[in-house]
Amino acid sequence: MNDYDILIIGAGPGGYVAAIRARQLGLKVGLIERAHLGGICLNWGCIPTKVMLKGTDVLREASGADRLGISPLSPVLDPVKLIGRATEVSGQLSAGVAFLLKKNGVDVIWGAAMLTSAGDVTVTASDAAAPRGALGPGVYAAQHVILATGASPRRLAGLEPDGHLVWTYMHALRPVSVPASLIVVGSGAMGIEFASIYAAMGSKVTLIDIAARILPQEDAEISGLMAKALQKRGIPMHTGVTVGQLDRRENNVTALLSDGTTLSAERLLSAVGVVANVVGLGLEALGVVLNNGAVQTVAAGRSSVPGIYAIGDAAGPPMLAHKAEHEGIACVEAIAGQTRHGISPVPHCIYASPQIASVGMTEAKAVESGLSVRVGRFSLRGNGKALVLGEPDGLVKCIFDAATDRLIGAQIIGVEASELIHGMTIAVSLGATSQQLANVIFPHPTVSEALREAVLAARDGAIHA
């Protein structure tokens, strides 16, 4: 029996961050992991995909270098080297996580975990190699157990992945070669990002989604602009349809869609989202209530069973790394008797070309909620820095509550959208008004000036529109 104040199952962004914060608060912590320090995000998701997107961005920029007076280039992307770079970056970050855990005195316990009671966790051997100094299988006890188990690719009947013809995102990150053609099923963030990556690498990509439009969770106006950008890149889209039948042959697939359309490609990527990893943990036997496939939680990650908590993907959507980190800190601070760490609106980003980033309410959601809104829009075609970068296609959209003048949502599509949304996230979190934001001075020339112009537009005062 090994006693801890807190046992955390899962060393992804939520788990390892929670473990470090708990140690900072003086708690004895055991962090259980079976495969990857840093979790799927660092090793298979967020980081590797961004390396691949960086490679394709450089390829695109080099192909248009003659616009800047540089002799025409004929760049060729080497997918093996690009994947190697992604693996290298992930390895560096994973080693960094191991260093931070050791520095902060977190006990890493290597293996697969199962709860046998509210405070007892049995750890069995894992196939993955354990990091140096990690503890092994055994029974571990703690007053508090936090589930930070992440998520896995959702599997649809008929589209079961085989790693050869039908891929999940994990297969798409380690291709043996770039397919000449690729069908992407699912047009959420994952599907759009991989469609962007593979189109840039030379695949003929086709998007399919059951929803009436791509990116159905995004603002409709922003979704429409992304659809136009993808069409401009030669990516056809079939929306409002499903794959009724999939014929797998030796080196290609043929998909029969519900509207009668037939599509053929070398590979098919099933990018229909993820599901929380809650099966096999012993939760049902302990009476932990699940909701839509994830642990049902209340404030600070508390589940229906005292002493058991869930954060990040295990606690349900939005399934984002930064949300998991924030929830992990809030959870352990509450356990330690501190309540100062609240939960702010969660921004989310799509790292395609162009990028999309948003926070808070969309215009449609605000109207559905009965709010009277004022909307400000500003096209990046009026932004000097965007023109300098050769990226004039984009839009900033701000949603204000007309009754209070407070910013309640913002959406951006265009260059570096993911690096701009934090400003609007701060504003939404603090309840900033359009008057307050209009008084903020933005540096020139920057793409960030477009944020101010959108705010001014909501006040009928945009200068460069």
Q: Which two tokens stand for residue 302?
A: 């508390």
Where do we find the tokens 């070309």? 353
CA atoms of 16 and 332, how far apart (whole Å): 12
CB atoms within 10 A of CB 242: 16
98 contact partners, CB below 8 Å, separation of at least 6:
37, 108, 131
CA atoms of 33 and 125, how far apart (whole Å): 11
CA atoms of 27 and 106, how far apart (whole Å): 10
How far are the Cα atoms of 192, 198, 199, 218, 353 from residue 226, in angstroms, in the given order? Answer: 9, 16, 14, 10, 9
Where do we find the tokens 């990556």? 197
1 contact partners, CB below 8 Å, separation of at least 6:
139, 140, 141
Answer yes or no: 444 catalytic. yes
Which of 36, 326, 444, 464 is catalytic? The answer is 444
Which residues are registered as beta bridge partners of 121?
115, 140
Burial of 118 (C-beta count, 10 Å sphere; 0-12/13-18/19+): middle
CA atoms of 20 and 328, how far apart (whole Å): 10
Burial of 87 (C-beta count, 10 Å sphere; 0-12/13-18/19+): middle
Burial of 252 (C-beta count, 10 Å sphere; 0-12/13-18/19+): middle
Q: Which two tokens stand for residue 14?
A: 């939520």
Beta strands in 165-252 (DSSP E): 166-167, 181-185, 204-209, 237-239, 243-248
Residue 271's Cβ-side half-sphere holds a number of Cα atoms within 13 Å equal to: 29
Report the candidate in 269, 261, 273 with the shortest Cα–Cα distance to residue 199: 269
Report the candidate in 103, 106, 105 with the shortest Cα–Cα distance to residue 30: 106
Contact 184, 230 (CB under 8 A): no
CA atoms of 353 and 393, how far apart (whole Å): 10
Contact 327, 301 (CB under 8 A): yes
Report the candidate in 86, 250, 266, 55 with the shortest Cα–Cα distance to residue 177: 266
Residues forming the active site: 444
